[in-house]
Chains A and B, each alone.
Chain A
Amino acid sequence: MEIINAFALIINYIIIPGLTYGCQLALGALGVTIIYTVLRFSNFAHGELMSFGAMTSILITWIISYFGISIFPLPTIILALPISILITISYCLLIDKYCFQYHRKKNSKNVISLIVSIGVMFFTSGLIRVLIGPNDRTINDGERFIISARKFKEITGLTEGISLKLSQSITIIVSIIAVAFLFWFLNKTKTGKSMRAYSDNKDLALLSGIKTENVIFYTWLITGTLACIAGTLYGLDKSYKPFTYLQLVLPIFAAAIVGGIGNPIGAIIGGFVISFSELLITFSYNKFLSYLIPINFLPEGSLQILSTDYKIAISFIILVLVLILKPTGIYKGKLL
């Protein structure tokens, strides 16, 4: 019983939140990785693109609920998602046309594109704050819990409860669908294959008749979709605050780089590495150990490696360490 309690504790405080946050990070990191591998620059605006997607989802949700449409146990925002994905994709295509295309055609250094993406980041964050304001918005209007901690305790009779929020399970399910679809697209369709060919060897791909414009169009299509889904899911799980998305950029980069930038599988793995290490390092193991070993043997004081204040800083530390020790990441990605 004690051991089951310990596991319940770990599942509740580490595995479920870790999976959710990991999914959100992985979706973001996939977007960054795909832009990097095809267009060859680090897109600092990706966090704001996610925020833009979440914002359009919220605006459309307001319109939908104005007409009284709802799918009650599920949050209404799921209905809004397809339309907001389309809007985010068009926004991505617009910024590509007016900001990035010129520098791509001119063959500027990739640092220049990076600085342009900072301009896009400023512009988008300003646009979002003008359109929806900087305030906190709760957008989850569906059922809160699939199973609450109290109910779980009543059913199983354990002292530790496991709670599963609806938003968490939606995050995980939608992410799995999105990632499965992405991999099907990249590996099985002709367009996906041409994208991979283009990212692998640009000149060879051009010689074999792959059209650059097509590849770039699909790249932004995928990026916009992923950004919108990731942003909306993040907003649904926590709550929508425009400034949090700026802070999300570095963890996303960390996830992409840890996995090996330019490698989609690496991005997913990296997302989970970041999310679980954040939780594992800041988790206080006192209670967990008290189930496993006799109380007399418990060491005094809190058994935390780092205090929870440093939660986000952990992803930065991992990022810096990986960059210094193994810049290619886990799955050898492309080096600059």
Chain B
Amino acid sequence: MKTNFFSEKKYINAYLVCAFLFLLVGLFQSWNVAFSILNLCLISAIMSIGINIQWGNSGIVNFGVMGFAAIGGLCGVLISMPPTLEVWKEGTAVIIIILFSFLVAGILIKRFWKIFVYNKYIKILLSIIVILFSLYLIKSTFIPSISFVENTNSAKTGYIGGLNLPIILSWPIAGLFCGVIAFLIGKIALGLRSDYLAIATLGISEIIIYIIKNEEWLARGVKNVNGLPRPVPYEIDLQKNEFIQTISNTLNLSVIELSSLIVKGLYSILFILVLLLIFFLLQKAIKSPWGRMMRAVRDNEISAEAMGINVKKRHLQVFIIGSAIIGISGAMLTTLDGQFTPSSYQPLRYTFLIWIMVIIGGSGNNHGAIIGGFAIWFFWIQAEPIGIFLIELITIFLSDQNEVKLYLLNHAAYMRLLLMGLVLILALRFFPKGIIEEEKRL
């Protein structure tokens, strides 16, 4: 029991350090900055929990974080924006044709796969023919309607629009939707082993981003969707509120600052609620026999299979759960930003940074994933000041007008990449178990 108590203390300490850093930023930079860092820390923490359940608990290497986050964001748009009605009146027939051809193609391919079990080439050839034919069918009906959608009021909408529902609803729906996509991806890709799975998921996530970027009818592509509705009140409405005005007078804060603080604080509360919900559900799952089974699969697939565990099924299950969590956080991210910008999805920021969070925090431990998310995002934001400080320290003997020093100071923003790489390499070498190591369980 003693070891249990010790590990508990360790993560509490880590949380206290995080809170202390938050206070420091609030006091020395500004509370606004502190809250915006906190919000993104919370979202990163949810993403890294999603990866942690896949990598830390089950050993699946999923490099497709970016793709799932983007799909989550897309859900945010498609749920919350008002629909473009004139488009929908025209497009019903097209949708029916598309769905029908997808259905027929799917059924045909499945039949071929069953009939020609032993002849691989006929199987693949026939499937390709069916796919090409259905693509032709879709293309011939689709292209005119696409250009119709994209040309109706293209400066403002030019896409199919959404369902005009409250944006909070998009969070669970994004989870569901990402789960479905993860099921499809998992069905075809999970047979691959670690290295290949990593490359495949990275490739798939790039394909997803390309589709979202280039299919303008879906979510305006690179033209971005702005002005998503919010789950929290707008600053301007708050500023008119008399109660807020009296508070701002007593606190000696300007109304503008106070209102934006309140908005950010409300976001933080929402995000904390989601984080806690996901966290407790997962903790329950990990402590249950199911979690034990997952760890058995992770540690030794062959003996787990010998014990009668269906490894493939477990992998698929956990891949879906983790991806759904990432999807939820993606939807939360677009909610926070109030806009959907497909070109901002970069693998460096969304996939690899999240992985660094999990590794640094301690894979296999959800507390670790949260701490990692907090620490790395904090570091990512604050790396520029740290970089400037380091450069000042190194070049302390040079004069202020020295060209080398000025040059380095100008490029200090890129120190964050360098430092992040360094942190990852050092962490894997000197504390491979992360800040908070995995609890020892039977």
Contacts of B214 in A (CB 8 A): 307, 309-310
- B438 CB–A CB distance under 8 Å: no
Complex Cα gap A319–B204 (Å) = 9
Determine whether the beta carbon of B194 is less than 8 Å from that of A111: yes
Contacts of A115 in B (CB 8 A): 355, 359, 424, 428
Knowing that A103-B429, A122-B352 touch, tell me 12 more A-B residue pairs with CB under 8 angstroms: A42-B198, A99-B425, A102-B429, A112-B432, A114-B194, A257-B196, A313-B206, A316-B203, A320-B189, A320-B203, A324-B188, A324-B189
Chain A residues closer than 8 Å to B194, beta-carbon distance: 109-111, 114, 336
Contact across chains for A111 and B195 when beta carbons are under 8 A apart:
yes
Q: Chain A, 266-299, contact with B by CB distance < 8 Å: what is the 0/1 string?
A: 0000000000000000000000000000000000
Interface string of A312-331 (1 = CB under 8 A from B): 11001101100111010000
Within 8 A of A (CB), among B196-211: 196, 198-200, 202-204, 206-207, 210-211
- Give A122 to B351 CA distance when docked, in angstroms: 12
A residues at B contact (CB < 8 Å): 41-42, 98-99, 102-103, 109-112, 114-116, 118-127, 129-130, 133-134, 246, 250, 253-254, 257, 301, 307, 309-310, 312-313, 316-317, 319-320, 323-325, 327, 335-336
- B165 interface contact, C-beta 8 A: no
List B residues 383-421 near A (Cβ within 8 Å). 408, 411, 414-421
Contact (Cβ within 8 A) B428 A134: no
B156 nearest CB across to chain A (Å): 22
Q: Which of these, B203, B418, B432, contacts A123 with CB under 8 Å? A: B418
> Contacts A110-B195, A122-B352, A323-B189 hold; do A133 and B425 have CB atoms under 8 A apart?
no
Are A327 and B421 closer than 8 Å at their CB atoms? no
Minimum Cβ distance to chain B for residue A197 (Å): 23
Q: A246-B348, A316-B203, A323-B189 are in contact. Are A129 and B196 (CB under 8 A)?
A: no
Q: Is B103 an interface residue (CB 8 A)?
A: no
Residue from B200, B352, B428 in contact with A320 in the complex, judged by beta carbons closer than 8 Å: B200
Contacts of A112 in B (CB 8 A): 428, 432
Taking a contact as CB atoms under 8 Å apart, the answer to whether B203 and A118 are in contact is: no
Task: Decide: B416 and A126 in contact? CB cutoff 8 A.
Answer: yes
Instruction: Report yes or no: B421 in contact with A257, Cβ–Cβ below 8 A.
Output: no
Which residues of A are found within 8 Å of B418, using beta-carbon distances?
Answer: 122-123, 126-127, 130
Shortest C-beta distance, A309 to chain B (Å), equals 4
Q: How many Å from the CB of B347 to the closest CB on chain A?
A: 7
Q: How far is the CB of A271 from chain B (nearest CB, A)?
A: 16
- How far in angstroms is the closest Cβ of chain B from A330? 15
* Chain B neighbourhood of A313, CB < 8 A: 206-207, 210-211
Q: B350-366: contact bitstring with A at CB < 8 Å (1 yes, 0 no)?
A: 00100110010000000
A324 surroundings in chain B (CB, below 8 A): 188-189, 192, 200
Question: In the bound complex, what is the Cα–Cα distance between A114 and B424 (angstroms)?
Answer: 12
Determine if B199 and A119 form an interchain contact, defined as CB atoms under 8 angstroms apart.
no
The residue on A at minimum CB distance from B215 is A309
Q: How far is the CB of A160 from chain B (nearest CB, A)?
A: 28
Interface centre among B194, B348, B425 (most CB of A within 10 A): B425
* CB–CB A126/B428 < 8 A: no
Please tell me if the beta carbons of B417 and A126 are within 8 angstroms of each other in the complex.
yes
Decide if B422 is an interface residue (CB 8 Å cutoff): yes
Cβ contacts A to B, 27 pairs, < 8 Å: A109-B194, A111-B198, A115-B355, A118-B356, A119-B421, A119-B423, A119-B428, A122-B417, A122-B418, A122-B424, A123-B422, A125-B348, A126-B414, A126-B415, A126-B417, A126-B419, A129-B414, A130-B408, A130-B414, A301-B143, A307-B214, A312-B210, A320-B200, A320-B204, A323-B189, A323-B196, A323-B203
Write the chain B residue with the least CB distance to A125: B417
Q: How far is the CA of A124 from the CA of B411 in the complex (A)?
A: 14
Q: Which residues, 334 to 350 on B, are CB-close (under 8 Å) to A? A: 347-348
Whether the Cβ atoms of B203 and A120 lie closer than 8 Å is: no
Interface readout for B158-187 with A: 1 if CB under 8 Å, 0 if not? 000000000000000000000000000000
Q: Give CA–CA (A114, B432) in the complex, Å.
A: 14
**B124 engages A130 (CB within 8 Å):** no
Nearest Cβ distance between residue A317 and chain B, in whole angstroms? 6
Q: Name the residue in B195, B207, B422, B429 with the highest tally of chain A Cβ atoms < 10 Å from its Cβ.
A: B195
Minimum C-beta distance from A122 to chain B (A):
3
Which chain A residue lies CB-closest to B423? A119
Q: Is B287 an interface residue (CB 8 A)?
A: no
With a cutoff of 8 Å between Cβ atoms, the chain A residues found around residue B213 in the complex are 309
Q: How far is the CB of B71 from chain A (nearest CB, A)?
A: 16
Whether B428 and A319, one on each chain, are in contact in the complex, defined by CB atoms closer than 8 angstroms, is: no
Assembly CA distance A330 to B189 (angstroms): 19
Residue on B nearest A112 in the bound complex, by CB? B428
Determine which residue in B356, B414, B432 has the highest number of CB atoms from chain A within 10 A of its CB, and name it. B414
- Is B61 an interface position by the 8 A CB rule? yes
In the complex, what residues of B have CB within 8 A of residue A111's CB?
A: 61, 194-195, 198
Asked if B421 and A122 sit within 8 Å, CB to CB, the answer is yes
* Across-interface contacts of B432 in A (CB, < 8 A): 112
A42 and B195 within 8 A (CB): yes
Within 8 A of A (CB), among B78-105: none
With A122-B420, A122-B421, A313-B207 as known contacts, state yes or no: A336 contacts B202, CB within 8 Å.
no
CA distance in complex: A313, B352 (Å): 20
Q: What's the nearest-Cβ distance from chain A to residue B6, in Å?
A: 26
CA distance A102 to B427 in the complex (A): 13
Query: Could you tell me if B355 and A254 are in contact, using CB atoms closer than 8 angstroms?
Result: no
Give min CB distance, B149 to chain A, whole Å. 16
Known: A246-B347, A336-B194. A120 touches B421 (CB 8 A): yes
Question: Which residue of A is nearest B191, CB measured?
Answer: A324
Q: Are A319 and B419 in contact (CB under 8 A)?
A: no
